[in-house]
Structures are given as structure tokens and as C-alpha cells.
Amino acid sequence: MGKSELFSHFADRFEMKRTQAREFFDELNTLAEKELKRSGEFVLPGVVKLVVQKRKARMGRNPATGEAIKIPAKTVVKARIAKPLKDSVLPKK
């Protein structure tokens, strides 16, 4: 499902214009950015938790040549899927 399909779905479901649905998602994105910068995490209850994680510098290998290379430290955002959603989608063992 693409962005326009997502906006159309929410517009139809909640009887609003597509532009209002787009504004809602834009505001959600802005809020997530602010919270990640402020506290390092953002939770969309029942769906996902976004967490800022700092990775240390490390040594790696160039797969083409096998040469050792230094991978610099960096900051990344990781998404952790909520357990109820994961359990409903993934098959039980």
C-alpha cells in the first residue's frame, strides 16, 4: 500500500478529505521526529516503537577484496514491532 492509497483509505474510513488525512500523517511524522530528537524514542501504541541507537565504530571487511576497513560510529533509528501485531501476523510455532 502506497502513501496515496493510505490517505484514501483513512479519508474514506473517517469521512474526511484526502488532504486532511495527509495533514494528519504529516503531523504524526513531525511529532515522531521531535520525540526522537528529544527523548530518543517514539511509540505508536500497538504498532511500533521507534528507538534511536548509537552504534560504535568497528572493523569490517570489503566483500569484494576481503580488505579490512574501518566502519565509523553512527546513530540510527530502529523500529521494534509491537508484540500484539507481531503475534497476529507471524505464524505460531
Distance between alpha carbon 74 and the CA centroid of its chain, in Å?
17
Taking the complete model, does pTM exceed 0.85, yes or no? no
pLDDT at 92 over 90: no
Domain range list for the chain: 1-38
3-state secondary structure string, 73-86?
CEEEEEEEECHHHH
Tell me the per-residue pLDDT of 38-80, one tens digit each, with 9 for 90 and over. 999 999 999 999 999 999 999 999 999 999 999 999 999 999 9
Closest CA to 76 of 92, 53, 60, 56: 53
State the DSSP H helix or E strand holding residue 38, giving kind and residue range, or none if neither: helix 18-39
Say whether 3 sits in a helix, a strand or coil: helix
